[in-house]
């Protein structure tokens, strides 16, 4: 039987769709797939992770993977959305769009916009899985990819309010120097004299304003999702659906980003996120969401991730078919050769 | 003659050759629609505004403008004049639509101020209702999810098909997409954001955007199927007893999609309830507008 191999970002995943795809496959085809952690999304047909290979078929993006798995005839396959009626499936689609858009922005903000997090967590995490010279420029490119969207939604404010006026928009590939939405990172202002004190007061005011703006932006979707979940174990009925999985993946990255229990290897750098304002918000105001995320994870890995028996598969090289979501196969060649 | 210092006779005689004529005052030109007693909505032009009978089509080709047209009509505002000769730079916030209200002030309102104006005009406050016109709090919350779906997957498909031809091949895409120094609107719309065409890990400088048309098409198809399933046989979305802001938004997108390139239109045409719903709502929206006259 041809094995299903899921290619995801290395854990901690930093990207919710990779984690969501892993959770989905664990619920849908447990024991019938393997994972391959890769820091090279250029091997994917879409240039993004996650993607899935099943024999001659390559499927990229979480939506395409979910559709492919739901229609697959892999032994032991369970359709997680089978118990939903047409209206509930439609609602599932709509709510998934909200989760991906608004919670996705919060995840990107946490890992890329907050300077301390980017410098002390994101860059070392990514660099540890990349070779030279990619480790020196790929994290910065990823950050710049997220910037337009975060600017559009008002979650990007890389402003300089360092004590000596330095800092600015840090594009240093080796790490941003203490700026970004530093109001929450606690970027302090140091200086001498009355002018420095005034700057410090202005900086504190700006920090407080930025913090409140971010928390208000986060509170809106979290309130909606908390009301949707209410006091139920899962959103629809008593089983996890694709929406539960997607929501849990985002909440897990916001509350337990290191996911050391999900990683098959220890975290040698012992990295933690320095600044987690949204985690605090979820824990204080929306504990049901955190509990739901944990519940979904425990449903997928009741004995822990390491005990799940997921083994890393081997890259079998190029495949010739892409799945575009239609019945049958498109027959398009995978345009991107595997990177060395 | 009223001067304290008398004018010398020789100067008076000299000035006699250069009489001063005072012409009557010239009144300033009348502002466009100054005599109008109905509100005037500034919009992007309709799709067929060059047709022989331009009054036949008063629905804007821009989704944002059409959304507000539908909002006004579904809230019960009628006899709204339309202009599409206004440069967006002249509107508040440099964005259309804008509403020019009649009266002495003839002020121009930005789109976000339209609901307040409508409430004042109609003497009621639908948005102040706890559920904003929806059935209950659950429906109101669900409407936010549908807005996210429409402004995400559906809007991305619209942008994609209104731009360059989609191509799965990186080399073909390279021929079509020029060097982009500024991120496209899709970069700010898609999540996760599209990677560069040159590759994320490539040593080449980042170039272009690698958009996956098949993924966007898949999400669009799923969105349309979901819209159709959710509408069912209801008169208004989410089972509301009357039209809501969500209905205005959905009408704007459906009408635009039904006039869009083939793949987008075909997908909507497969859903008879959506087509019938759009036709019915169009019959409510279209009569509320007329083209402003230059008087």
- How is A97-146 classified by DSSP, letter by letter? HHIIIIIHHHHHIIIIISHHHIIIIIHHHHHTT--TTHHHHHHHHHHHHH
The domain ranges of chain A are 4-133+218-329
Closest CA to A174 of A146, A131, A136: A136
Query: Residue B89 is part of which domain span?
Result: 28-164+184-201+209-291
Is residue B118 scored above 80 in pLDDT?
Answer: yes
Average pLDDT, integer, range A81-95: 94
Task: Find all residues with CB under 8 Å of A330, minimum gap 6, and list them.
Answer: A321, A322, A323, A324, B214
**Is residue B188 in a domain?**
yes
Q: Which of A4-13, A31-40, A325-334, B237-246 is predicted least confidently?
A: A325-334
pLDDT at A200: 75
Q: pTM to 2 decimals? A: 0.81
Average pLDDT, integer, range A226-251: 94
Q: Which residues of B touch A324 (CB under 8 A)?
A: 214, 217-218
Q: What angle do CA A147, A92, A86 make, to 5 degrees?
A: 145
pLDDT at A195: 75
Q: Do A145 and B203 touch (CB under 8 A)?
A: no
Radius of gyration of chain A (CA): 21
Q: Is A227 on the interface with B (CB under 8 A)?
A: yes
Distance CA B162, CA A99 (A): 27
Helices (H), chain A: 16-28, 62-71, 86-98, 104-108, 115-117, 123-127, 134-152, 182-185, 193-229, 242-255, 277-285, 287-300
pLDDT at B187: 78
**Is residue B35 in a domain?**
yes
Q: Do A42 and B219 touch (CB under 8 A)?
A: no
Is residue A272 scored above 80 in pLDDT?
Answer: no
Answer for the pair A294, A282: CB distance below 8 angstroms, yes or no.
Answer: no
Distance CA A143, CA A112 (A): 6
Average pLDDT, integer, range B96-103: 87
A335 vs B137, B168, B188: nearest CB: B168
pLDDT at B37: 74
| Residues 281 through 320 of chain A touching chain B, CB cutoff 8 Å | none
Average pLDDT, integer, range A129-156: 91
- pLDDT confidence of A20, banded at 50, 70, 90? very high
Phi and psi at residue A242, in whole multiples of 5°? Answer: -60, -35
Answer for the pair A51, A211: CB distance below 8 angstroms, yes or no.
Answer: no
pLDDT at A72: 84
Is residue B287 scored above 80 in pLDDT?
Answer: yes
Q: Which of A18-32, A230-244, B37-51, B170-184 is predicted least confidently?
A: B170-184
pLDDT at A144: 92
Is residue A37 scored above 60 in pLDDT?
Answer: yes
**HSE of A271, CA atoms in CB hemisphere, 13 A:** 24
Average pLDDT, integer, range A59-71: 92
Is residue A127 scored above 50 in pLDDT?
Answer: yes
Residue of B nearest to A103 (CA): B191
pLDDT at B2: 57
More confident of the two residues A99 and A337 = A99
More confident of the two residues B164 and A134 = A134
Q: Which residues of B touch A91 (CB under 8 A)?
A: 142, 145, 230
Task: Find all residues with CB under 8 Å of B184, minimum gap 6, and list them.
Answer: B209
- pLDDT confidence of A109, banded at 50, 70, 90? very high
The domain total for chain B is 1
pLDDT at A207: 79
Is residue B236 scored above 90 in pLDDT?
Answer: yes
Q: Kindly list the distances between the CA atom of residue A6 and the CA atoms of A26, A171, A259, in Å, as whole numbers in the listed order.
A: 11, 32, 18
Residue of A nearest to B232 (CA): A87
Average pLDDT, integer, range B194-204: 90
**Is residue B176 in a domain?**
no
**HSE of A263, CA atoms in CB hemisphere, 13 A:** 17
How many angstroms separate the CA of residue A215 from the nearest CA in chain B? Answer: 19
How many angstroms separate the CA of residue A73 from the nearest CA in chain B? Answer: 20
Using a 10 angstrom Cβ sphere, with 0-12 exposed, 13-18 middle and 19 or more buried, the burial of residue B268 is buried
**Is residue B190 in a domain?**
yes
How many angstroms separate the CA of residue A205 from the nearest CA in chain B? Answer: 27
**Is residue B23 in a domain?**
no
Is residue B264 scored above 60 in pLDDT?
Answer: yes
Average pLDDT, integer, range B226-241: 95
Is residue A105 scored above 80 in pLDDT?
Answer: yes
Q: Which of A126-140, A159-173, A270-284 is predicted least confidently?
A: A159-173
How many angstroms separate the CA of residue A275 from the nearest CA in chain B? Answer: 22
Q: Which residue has the tokens 């909440």?
A: A251
Q: What is the mean pLDDT of chain B?
A: 84
Is residue A161 scored above 60 in pLDDT?
Answer: no
pLDDT at A292: 95
Q: Is A17 on the interface with B (CB under 8 A)?
A: yes
Query: Residues B169-190, buried b or exposed e (16+ Cβ, 10 A)?
Result: eeeebeeebeeeeebbebbbbb
- The CATH number covering residue B80 comes to 1.20.1050.130
Give the model confidence (pLDDT) of A171-202 as tens digits: 433 333 333 444 444 444 444 556 777 777 77
Mutate to test the interface with A, among B166, B209, B214, B253 (most CBs of A within 10 A): B214
Average pLDDT, integer, range B173-197: 66
Average pLDDT, integer, range A7-14: 81
Q: Which residues of B touch A142 (CB under 8 A)?
A: 200
- pLDDT confidence of A204, banded at 50, 70, 90? confident
Distance CA B186, CA B163 (A): 11
The tokens describing B175, both together, are: 């021929």
Calculate what percentage of chain A has a pLDDT beyond 70: 74
Phi and psi at residue B293, in whole multiples of 5°? Answer: -95, 150
Q: Is A331 on the interface with B (CB under 8 A)?
A: no
pLDDT at A274: 81
* Predicted ipTM beyond 0.90: no
**Is residue B58 in a domain?**
yes
Q: Which of A98-112, B46-60, B275-289 is predicted least confidently?
A: B46-60
Q: Do A89 and B203 touch (CB under 8 A)?
A: no
pLDDT at A340: 35
Give the model confidence (pLDDT) of A131-142 as tens digits: 889 999 999 999
Give the model confidence (pLDDT) of A241-268 as tens digits: 999 999 999 999 999 876 654 444 445 5
CB atoms near residue B75 (< 10 Å): 23
Answer for the pair B90, B100: CB distance below 8 angstroms, yes or no.
Answer: no
Give the model confidence (pLDDT) of A310-327 as tens digits: 656 544 333 334 444 443
Calculate what percentage of chain B has a pLDDT beyond 70: 82
CATH topology of domain A4-133+218-329: Glutathione S-transferase Yfyf (Class Pi); Chain A, domain 2 (1.20.1050)
Q: Which residues of A touch B155 (CB under 8 A)?
A: none
- pLDDT confidence of B167, banded at 50, 70, 90? very low
Q: Do B195 and A41 touch (CB under 8 A)?
A: yes
Mutual orientation of helices A287-300 and A16-28 as an angle, nearest 10°?
Answer: 50
Is residue A19 scored above 90 in pLDDT?
Answer: yes
Distance CA B251, CA B127 (A): 19
- pLDDT confidence of A306, banded at 50, 70, 90? low
Distance CA B232, CA A236 (A): 20
Average pLDDT, integer, range A197-208: 78
Q: Is the dihedral of CA A203, A204, A208, A209 positive or negative?
A: negative
Q: Do B187 and A86 touch (CB under 8 A)?
A: no
Question: SS3 of A5, please?
Answer: strand
How many angstroms separate the CA of residue B69 from the nearest CA in chain A? Answer: 24
Phi and psi at residue A108, in whole multiples of 5°? Answer: -65, -40
Q: How many CB pairs under 8 A join A and B?
A: 146
How many angstroms separate the CA of residue B189 from the nearest CA in chain A? Answer: 7
**Is residue B151 in a domain?**
yes
More confident of the two residues A176 and B170 = B170
Is residue B106 scored above 90 in pLDDT?
Answer: no
Q: Which residues of B touch A64 (CB under 8 A)?
A: 214-215, 218
Is residue A120 scored above 70 in pLDDT?
Answer: yes
Average pLDDT, integer, range A284-290: 95
Phi and psi at residue A327, in whole multiples of 5°? Answer: -65, 135
Q: Do B191 and A335 touch (CB under 8 A)?
A: no
């Amino acid at each position: 039987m041809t094995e299903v191999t899921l290619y995801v970002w290395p854990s901690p995943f930093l990207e919710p769709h990779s984690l969501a795809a892993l959770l989905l496959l664990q619920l849908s085809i447990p024991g019938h797939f393997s994972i391959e952690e890769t820091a090279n999304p250029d091997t994917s047909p879409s240039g993004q992770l996650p993607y899935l290979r099943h024999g001659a078929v390559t499927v990229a993006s979480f939506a395409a993977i979910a559709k492919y798995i739901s229609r697959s005839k892999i032994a032991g396959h369970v359709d997680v959305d089978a118990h939903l009626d047409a209206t509930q499936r439609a609602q599932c689609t709509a709510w998934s769009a909200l989760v991906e858009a608004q919670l996705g922005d919060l995840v990107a903000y946490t890992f890329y916009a907050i300077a301390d997090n980017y410098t002390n967590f994101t860059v070392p995490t990514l660099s540890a899985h990349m070779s030279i010279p990619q480790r020196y420029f790929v994290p910065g490119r990823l950050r710049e990819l997220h910037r337009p969207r975060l600017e559009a939604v008002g979650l990007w404010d890389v402003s300089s309010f360092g004590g000596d006026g330095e800092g600015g928009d840090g594009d240093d590939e080796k790490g941003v120097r203490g700026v970004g939405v530093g109001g929450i990172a606690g970027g302090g202002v140091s200086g001498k004299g009355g002018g420095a004190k005034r700057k410090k007061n202005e900086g504190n005011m700006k920090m407080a304003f930025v913090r409140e703006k971010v928390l208000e932006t986060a509170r809106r979707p979290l309130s909606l999702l908390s009301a949707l979940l209410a006091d139920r174990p899962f959103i629809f009925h008593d089983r996890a659906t694709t929406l539960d999985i997607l929501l849990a993946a985002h909440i897990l990255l916001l509350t337990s980003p290191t996911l050391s229990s999900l990683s098959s290897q220890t975290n040698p750098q012992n990295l933690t996120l320095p600044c987690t304002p949204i985690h605090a918000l979820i824990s204080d105001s929306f504990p049901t969401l955190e509990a739901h995320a944990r519940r979904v994870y425990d449903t997928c890995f009741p004995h822990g991730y390491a005990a799940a028996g997921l083994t890393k598969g081997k890259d079998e090289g190029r495949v010739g078919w892409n799945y575009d979501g239609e019945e049958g196969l498109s027959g398009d060649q995978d345009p991107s050769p595997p990177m060395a | 003659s009223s001067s304290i210092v008398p004018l010398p006779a020789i100067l008076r005689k000299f000035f006699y050759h250069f009489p001063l004529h005072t012409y009557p005052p010239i009144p300033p030109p009348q502002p466009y629609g100054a005599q109008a007693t109905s509100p005037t909505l500034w919009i992007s032009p309709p799709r067929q505004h060059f047709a022989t009978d331009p009054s036949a089509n008063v629905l804007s080709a821009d989704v944002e403008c059409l959304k507000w047209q539908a909002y006004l009509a579904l809230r019960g505002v009628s006899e709204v004049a339309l202009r599409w000769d206004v440069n967006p730079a002249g509107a508040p916030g440099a964005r259309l639509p804008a509403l020019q209200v009649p009266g002495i002030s003839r002020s121009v309102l930005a789109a976000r101020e339209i609901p307040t104006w409508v409430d004042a005009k109609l003497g009621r406050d639908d948005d102040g209702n706890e559920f904003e016109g929806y059935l209950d709090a659950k429906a109101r919350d669900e409407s936010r999810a549908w807005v996210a779906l429409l402004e995400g997957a559906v809007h991305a498909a619209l942008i994609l098909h209104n731009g360059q031809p989609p191509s799965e091949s990186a080399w073909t895409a390279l021929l079509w997409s020029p060097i982009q120094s500024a991120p496209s609107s899709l970069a700010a719309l898609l999540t996760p954001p599209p990677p560069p065409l040159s590759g994320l890990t490539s040593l080449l400088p980042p170039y272009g955007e690698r958009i996956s048309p098949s993924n966007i098409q898949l999400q669009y198809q799923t969105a349309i199927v979901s819209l159709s399933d959710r509408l069912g046989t209801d008169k208004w979305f989410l089972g509301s007893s009357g039209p809501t802001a969500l209905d205005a938004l959905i009408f704007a997108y459906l009408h635009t999609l039904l006039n869009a390139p083939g793949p987008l239109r075909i997908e909507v045409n497969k859903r008879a309830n959506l087509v019938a719903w759009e036709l019915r709502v169009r019959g409510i929206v279209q009569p509320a507008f007329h083209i402003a006259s230059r008087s």
